[in-house]
Structure 1
Amino acid sequence: MARLFGTDGVRGLANREVTAELALDLSVAAAHVLAEKGEFAGHRPIAVVGRDPRISGEFLSAAVTAGLASAGVDVLDAGVLPTPAIAFLTDHTGADLGAMLSASHNAMPDNGIKFFARGGHKLADALEDAIEARMGEPWERPVGESVGHIQPLAGGQAAYVEHLLSVIPHRLDGLHVVLDTAHGAASTVGPEAFQSAGARVSVIGAEPDGFNINDGYGSTHLENLRKAVVVHGADLGLAFDGDADRCLAVDSAGDVVDGDQIMAVLALAMRDRGTLADDTLVATVMSNLGLLQAMEREGVQVKQTAVGDRYVLEGMRKGSFSLGGEQSGHVIFLDHGTTGDGILTGLMLAARVAETGSSLEELTAVMHRLPQVMINVKDVDKFRVDEDPEVQAAVRAVEEELADSGRVLLRKSGTEPVVRVMVEAASSELARAKAEQLADVVRLHLSI
């Protein structure tokens, strides 16, 4: 049987795979497991629950809230807020756990459930497995005064904005910023934060109706933001995904600035301020070679992890590092939060522009992004990719040919019989040719 929890909670088609029944059972099991782990020691347990604006979040958050309350947990309903806001508020309120209903950048029909432990931390695999194992078990239900109380979380958005403003190193006065909030969870809080920081703000993709989240807007659809930045003559544009834990940018010329470029700018900003722990950035193996080369030139060490923000966070916590993230724009500031925060990332990037007086184009020039081509090779035995002698010989041959001007990465999918072939090279044509060459080798030798 497949594991219920994926790399970022439980996610799937709402009301088919992610049902009200599943949400209720999961929340009851989560309450039981976290209580037994001592998270609720000495006081009545409290949970913070939030969601993004997709319509299925209405009934799913009701189910999660009902499950928690039925297990004797008092629930603070934060309403529609970004995932990082729920993580922050879990810690800020002293709650014992948090729950967020969101499918992030996925299309509207999907939804998901993720839990946070005390302090706003994502759950370790062992805790997720324990929750899954406890689902549907018989239990003694509390009655009378022992059932949980449900009430709105007053002032949650204000507290989150105050937190964001307290940690940015420079105000944004004089900057014109276009925000694309993906018709998602940042539609209200994003503009408020940037305006409070002093920026002149133009907003697109900020009319959520329950159905339009991530539809043609946000970090996975940058076309409208690119146009808007140029039309408004803005200094930069920032795009969030549906739950606002990611941020990508657009410079004043309308060119895209990806997560690797954002991390390069922020790493140097933090190094210059003395806040980049051990002058080290944590990134995944998918980060562009251009980022590694730029950081080496600037004296910043890069620690690489497996793909996934949870592995970035794990690497950061293990080494007590302060900055890490992914090419997708999922950036973590461990001194200020426990998960990726798109609004905070955008504020930090804009603050660097305001602080230096340099344009975003000038700041990102520190890094030359190499052309990167990814090919998904389907219906292959992905588990032999690291051991097959013909495949590995082909990889070594391409690596020798590219030398220091490129990179090869073969990675097995975590959910499908797929091998992802990634090649970076000095030109798009060369990267494409070498990726197709290696993809052919994988098909030939690893076909099922």
Structure 2
Amino acid sequence: MGRLFGTDGVRGVANADLTAELALGLSVAAAHVLAEAGTFEGHRPTAVVGRDPRASGEFLEAAVVAGLASAGVDVLRVGVLPTPAVAHLTGVLGADLGVMLSASHNAMPDNGIKFFARGGHKLADDLEDKIEAVYEEHRTGAPWERPTGAGVGRVRDYDEGFETYVSHLISVLPNRLDGLKIVLDEAHGAAARVSPEAFTRAGAQVVTIGAEPDGLNINDGCGSTHLGLLRAAVVEHGADLGIAHDGDADRCLAVDAAGNEVDGDQILAVLSLAMREAGTLRGDTVVATVMSNLGFKLAMEREGLNLVQTAVGDRYVLESMKENGFALGGEQSGHVIVLDHATTGDGTLTGLMLAARIAATGKSLADLAGVMERLPQILINVKDVDKSRVDTSGELAAAVTEAERDLGSTGRVLLRPSGTEPLVRVMVEAADIEQARAVAQRLADVVKSALG
């Protein structure tokens, strides 16, 4: 079998790829790996389990809880909360591990399992590999060691998680949001209650859309992957800005008063200057991925800030931040990590901090985001191809070399297999959008023919 873990946990179509049996088995394996240091006498390992509102999350949650409890782990079930809330609660409650059931921005039929280690941190590759190895060992016949009697885990609902998380968000804000009118698009997802509550407590006048999850409508034409409704609502209500989350609210995109998108690169640029001014941008450095717009890199250079770039995935951004002691990092897609206040990307926190900067400076979001100019960037997702051959196809390598020669120093090419979906992403950046579009389409055609 191929590697189960992608760039953000284990993900697939619920009840087809991601079954109850798989969820249960992985949870037992995770308990053995992540809670093994907690087996000393007198200590009962504990796990925090949360989910987004997808209908499939109900049976998958039951499977995960059953697996953990059968392995002797006490479970605190926090219900529907954002991924960063589960990470935060895993840390503050001193749990041995955390589990979030969500497929993030994916469509409703998908679901996923994300594990957090002690402290609420995403897992390094070696820990994921170890969980997979333990799971596979027992799937093929080796029996689990199962506690009995008083040794089995106990399960209880932890309703205090909502208040604990919202109070944390408010406590770390540098200033209030009084006077701002903000539209929030919750993607009918995990932040449908949390985000409006936090922004309201912070002093903003809040208008919500996409905040009525029914288990089937998550990410359906709304949220960070579909900004049309948010753009229209911001203009209609005369709001200062709009904030869009994805299904599990670990990302944030914004819309200015005129309805123009403000992406993760621009948000990072705004927050980097705010944090430098506050003295909290350690090393005057921001961490981003290779997908960041070239305009972001140029803006950081102009402002005298350092930029460290990593592989795509907020987990790699986080690894670089932790290893080097940096305070701010993120992705163009809206995963922004403020490491002093969160252990993972936190869409609600990001939106609050962005709004706080607007309130503190009295400037519009458009003015603040103008610190960087986005160069034309074309992204084409090529589906139904063998993404495992991206790095080995000679035909594709020759096409990339030709494209880079055509673009010269004013552009760049990036091809990468998706870590969560069966497709290859073709990204081309150039000073001229028509050139970027032409080169991207040419490369996408080669990907289709070479890897189809």
Same fold (TM over 0.5): yes
Conserved 8 A contact 1:394-1:438: no
Tell me which residue corresponds to 1:107.
Answer: 107
Amino acid corresponding to residue 368 of structure 1 in structure 2: E
Aligned-residue offset at 1:438: 4.7
Q: Which amino acid aligns with 2:426?
A: V
Contact persistence 2:8–2:419 (CA under 8 A): no
Residue in 2 aligned with 1:243?
248
Secondary structure of 1:203 counterpart: strand
Query: How far apart, CA to CA, are the structure 2 residues paired with 1:436 and 1:13?
Result: 29
Alignment partner of 2:190 out of 185, 189, 201: 185
Shift of 1:433: 2.3
Q: State which drifts further: 376-385 or 102-111.
A: 376-385
Aligned mates of 1:24, 1:434 — CA distance in 2: 46
Deviation at 1:25, TM superposition (A): 1.1
Quote how far apart the aligned CAs of 1:389 are. Answer: 7.0
Structure 2: distance between partners of 1:425 and 1:176: 36
User: In the alignment, does 2:178 pair up with 1:173?
Assistant: yes
Q: Residues 371, 75 of structure 1: CA spacing in aligned structure 2 closer, same or farther, 3 A cutoff?
A: same
Q: Does 1:160 align with 2:168?
A: no
SS in 1 for 2:414: strand
**CA deviations over 1:381-415 (Å, ceiling 9, x no partner):** 42236997744641442242xx3x43333445558
CA deviations over 1:85-108 (Å, ceiling 9, x no partner): 000000111111111111111111
The amino acid that maps onto 1:434 is V
State how 1:379-398 maps to structure 2 within 5 Å. 381-384=389-392, 390-391=398-399, 393-398=401-406
Name the counterpart of 1:125: 125
Please give the alpha-carbon distance, in whole angstroms, between the structure 2 residues aligned to 1:419 and 1:76. Answer: 38
Give the CA deviation at 1:122. Answer: 1.0
Q: Structure 1 pair 12/264, CA: closer, same or farther in 2 (3 Å)?
A: same
Gaps of 5+ in 1: none
Pairing 1:221–2:226 present: yes
1:35 aligns to what?
35
Unaligned runs of 5+ in 2: none
8 Å Cα contact 2:396-2:447 kept in structure 1: no
- RMSD across aligned positions (CA): 2.1
Question: Match for residue 86 of structure 1?
Answer: 86
**1:280 partner amino acid:** T
CA distance in 2 between partners of 1:134 and 1:389 (Å): 37
2:223 match: secondary structure: coil
The answer to whether the Cα contact below 8 Å between 2:100 and 2:114 also exists between their aligned partners in 1 is yes
Alignment of 1:20-31 (within 5 A): 20-31=20-31
**Alpha carbons 2:239, 2:257 under 8 Å: kept:** yes
Among the aligned pairs, what percent are the same residue?
69
Query: Once structures 1 and 2 are overlaid, which stretch shifts more, 106-115 or 371-380?
Result: 371-380
Instruction: Decide whether aligned partners of structure 1 residues 388 and 103 sit closer, same or farther in structure 2, where only a CA change above 3 A counts.
Output: closer
- Distance in 2 (alpha carbons) for counterparts of 1:198 and 1:107: 33
> Could you tell me how far 1:441 is from its partner in structure 2?
6.5
Aligned to 1:289: 294
Name the aligned partner's letter for residue 406 of structure 2: V
Determine the C-alpha separation between the residues in 2 that align with 1:318 and 1:310: 12
Equivalent residues, number: 443
Alignment of structure 1 residues 333-344 onto 2, 5 Å: 333-344=338-349
Q: Does residue 1:409 correspond to 2:394, yes or no?
A: no
Q: Which amino acid aligns with 2:235?
A: V
- CA pair 447-134 structure 1, distance change in 2 beyond 3 A: closer
Q: Secondary structure at the match of 1:214?
A: coil
Task: Give the letter aligned to residue 322 of structure 2.
Answer: R
Taking a change above 3 Å as real, the CA distance of residues 5 and 388 of structure 1, as seen in their structure-2 partners, is closer
TM-score under structure 2 normalisation? 0.93
Assess, with a 3 A threshold, how the Cα gap between structure 1 residues 143 and 193 changes in structure 2: closer, same or farther: same
Q: What is the identity, as a one-letter code, of the residue corresponding to 2:186?
A: T
The structure-2 alpha-carbon separation of the partners of 1:406 and 1:313, relative to structure 1 and needing over 3 Å to count, comes to same
User: What TM-score, normalized to structure 1?
Assistant: 0.94
